[in-house]
Chains A and B, each alone.
Chain A
């Protein structure tokens, strides 16, 4: 017979919330992605220091960006709600929350594209244009990834893979989504609000 001792204690099995490897892995991903955006904003301020406020062609309008910010924040709220429903085994509400998150994410992307088309400058005009389009472009790419993640966990929820015991993937997608929103706040503040401050 094996010399292995019996299990010393009853431990939960499987991907269990914040105890799972996956959740910690997502934290490291967020760390490195946050650095990416820090460097993008570093480039913005580097140019600003060198060229002064004359560098910014004209103060960016808030007509689209401000409501869009609200939409993104709202989506975070719904995803957070979905996650807490998952914890209480309210599967229907959980799916609805995720679905609303996906829809709001897509609306954000659509409005962002409108915003892009309204700009009088292009990515190739000056370093300001380059900085603006690359930074917001990187953010949009992250929104797309976030939407895909939410859609995937939505699908898997509908297929019945998750319940209150097993819902790490939902938490993992959710925390990524909150991160993407937080990054947007930093970008919004930098690109849209600071020109009005200085």
Chain B
């Protein structure tokens, strides 16, 4: 979209009114290092999540490139087998846990209060805590890697290879304890999204008016609440198997290695949707802006997300077709896996119809979303091939699966995220990303990606197993692998262009104004970047597209963005009902605090103590942890406020 077309008319609320000034005084945190560490502002944490996730994306990318160098030709000796094991394990877990999910959390943490028309997450301190513990869990696992004890059993870490007799070093303990910390982060985040979504929407934003991004994130959050305990438990059992001689996974003491796979995949299949649904939500909300029309089929897309998540809990066995499970289970889970493609197909048709019937503006963001749809479809087709038990018997553990993983993860996650960044970067920073660099960014990513991963389907069909550190000459894999490696470097260059674009535009980009794209949802009604309190008055919403009401003329009522409750007797938020968003209470919000950071540090210290078997230290740290929590949760007298101070 040419910059000249941009509508900069402020739909804005006034900035210097007395109310606005009073609110700024209440909501703005202090500056300096202490202010930075103790902040609880969701906008701050949204950005921190995204930046941290991008750092991990870069780390995982470097690991991938080293692997690709090793695999560029036959019989290479750049890496030892053990180094290769650690690299693909670190790459996989970094991308999936430390990049793909947190980056989406970043978008949602930044956007939730803005698109829902409120002032912060329901639990701002918990929000800060989930960020800190995510960061520390990542550092914890990477610390193991740096001292030579990275996980080396793939991101899914099968027993019995992960057990002590085969894996005596602390590699797996780093992974196990790190993942338990990470699970705490995801769970805390999920809790926050669910409660914010259900109880903090602007009055009038009934559940069928909430943006799809919010739906996607909330659905994924329910997925997290039900699935993460499975993996945290599995890792805890693995750790006790390794350290205290329990027998969950080793057959010697009547354990069952397959129990690991069940617990892991009961978690990890739903996880596919945890890293997909919010990204699909980004596209569902942002694509229509560039098509200049509302999304086709809002209701079916929402129902499809929910249905996907629910069904996602019933298909985990399709990752275990090759383990000799009973025929009946095989047939059932294969069939169920086919059925689960239906809701995804519904979403794809909704996007295509939106483009088809709209007036697409070919901006960089649009290109990313279009590329997303193409790769989503290819990934879906290769997914159906692995969901069919007979073909899976052939394809399992070959590069075909690696191709599939990357089409799905990069297609659904990375492209949606990059597109989303072009859309919301102006909201986060006040400046647009550069469009020309953006096009280069898109095309190098798109071409590099397909050059790298399309041929992998072929290497896989030709029988190249995944997770091998090298291969002999003369099997017909060499040329394809060279192409793949070249593609990987082009893709990496494309990602680098994005980073360059961010770096430059953050200071020198075109000033965005509140609503650079003419978007329909509430975040475009506030300034870019938004004021500390987000909304000076709590908006009242009367339709799905509060900012498009004049153009669409679909709503019966009119949304009100400039008149509403000011809630300025302190840090306050409005609590509304779950379905209809009717106001029911005014909640006092917490001030900045170091408690979240200290809690996260104490929890990580506990993991370190457990790793070192330093039980006395572990006990002391637990006491510290409890003490910090006790003061964190200490009730405030202000909450007892009963009379409402008069103002207006």
Contacts and interface: CB of A to CB of B under 8 A. Distances in A.
A9 interface: yes
A197 interface: no
Interface in A111-139: 123-131, 133-134
Given A20-B585, A40-B233, A156-B635, A47 B256 contact: yes
A173 to B, nearest CB: 10
A3 B626 CA distance: 45
18 contacts: A3-B563, A8-B583, A13-B641, A19-B585, A21-B587, A31-B226, A32-B187, A32-B224, A33-B229, A35-B225, A47-B256, A50-B256, A124-B244, A126-B247, A127-B255, A156-B635, A165-B640, A169-B635
A24 B199 contact: yes
B639 A166 contact: yes
A2 B195 contact: no
B263 interface: yes
A161 B648 contact: no
A127 B266 CA distance: 21
B191 A25 contact: yes
A10 B585 CA distance: 9
Nearest to A29: B191
Contacts of A3: 14, 17, 537, 562-563
A39 interface: yes
A5 interface: yes
B565 A5 contact: yes
Interface in A5-35: 5-16, 19-21, 24-25, 28-29, 31-33, 35
A129 B245 CA distance: 11
Contact of A13 (B123, B199, B564, B642): B642
Given A126-B247, A134-B246, A21 B263 contact: no
Contacts, number: 189
A63 interface: no
A4 B565 contact: yes
B122 interface: yes
B575 A19 contact: yes
Nearest to A4: B566
Interface string A95-124: 000000000000000000000000000011
B5 interface: no
B225 A36 contact: no
A134 to B, nearest CB: 7
A55 interface: yes
B230 A15 contact: no
A189 interface: no
A156 B633 CA distance: 11
Contacts of B587: 14-15, 20-21
The interface residues of chain A, by DSSP majority, are classed as helix
A134 B225 contact: no
B254 A14 contact: no
Contacts of A165: 640, 642
B262 interface: yes
Interface in B240-279: 240-241, 244-248, 253-256, 259, 262-263, 266
A4 B246 contact: no
What range describes how many residues of B lie at the interface? 35 or more
B581 to A, nearest CB: 13
Given A11-B586, A38-B229, 9 more contacts: A13-B572, A19-B584, A20-B585, A21-B122, A21-B587, A28-B191, A55-B254, A130-B246, A161-B635
Most buried by B among A25, A38, A152: A25
A8 B229 CA distance: 43
Interface of B: 14, 17-20, 122-123, 126, 187, 190-192, 194-195, 198-200, 224-230, 232-233, 236-237, 240-241, 244-248, 253-256, 259, 262-263, 266, 536-537, 562-566, 568-569, 572, 574-575, 583-588, 626, 630, 633-635, 637, 639-642, 644, 648
A183 to B, nearest CB: 13
A12 B585 contact: yes
A39 B263 contact: yes
A51 interface: yes
B244 A21 contact: no
Given A5-B564, A24-B195, A127-B253, A11 B248 contact: no
A148 interface: yes
Contacts of A9: 583
B411 to A, nearest CB: 30
Contact of A28 (B194, B229, B237, B240): B194
B191 A127 contact: no
Nearest to B266: A39
A134 B240 CA distance: 9
Nearest to B236: A134
A21 B562 contact: no
A27 to B, nearest CB: 9
A13 B247 contact: no
A36 B635 contact: no
Contact of B123 (A21, A39, A126, A130): A21
Contact of B565 (A7, A24, A31, A156): A7
Contacts of B228: 32
Contacts of B574: 11
Nearest to B635: A161
Contact of A123 (B191, B244, B572): B244
Contacts of B233: 36, 39-40, 43
Nearest to B228: A32
A43 B259 contact: yes
Nearest to A130: B246
Contact of A14 (B224, B248, B640): B640
A7 B203 CA distance: 13
Contacts of B244: 123-124
Contacts of B237: 43, 130, 134
Given A14-B640, A20-B587, A123 B225 contact: no
Most buried by B among A16, A24, A50, A148: A24
Contacts of B563: 3-5
Interface in A159-198: 161-163, 165-166, 169
A5 to B, nearest CB: 5
A156 B14 CA distance: 42
Contacts of A55: 254
Nearest to A161: B635
Nearest to B245: A124
Contacts of B190: 28, 32
A55 B20 CA distance: 68
Contacts of A47: 254, 256, 259
Contact of A8 (B191, B245, B266, B565): B565
A25 B586 CA distance: 16
B91 to A, nearest CB: 28
A13 B640 CA distance: 8
Contacts of B640: 14, 161, 163, 165-166
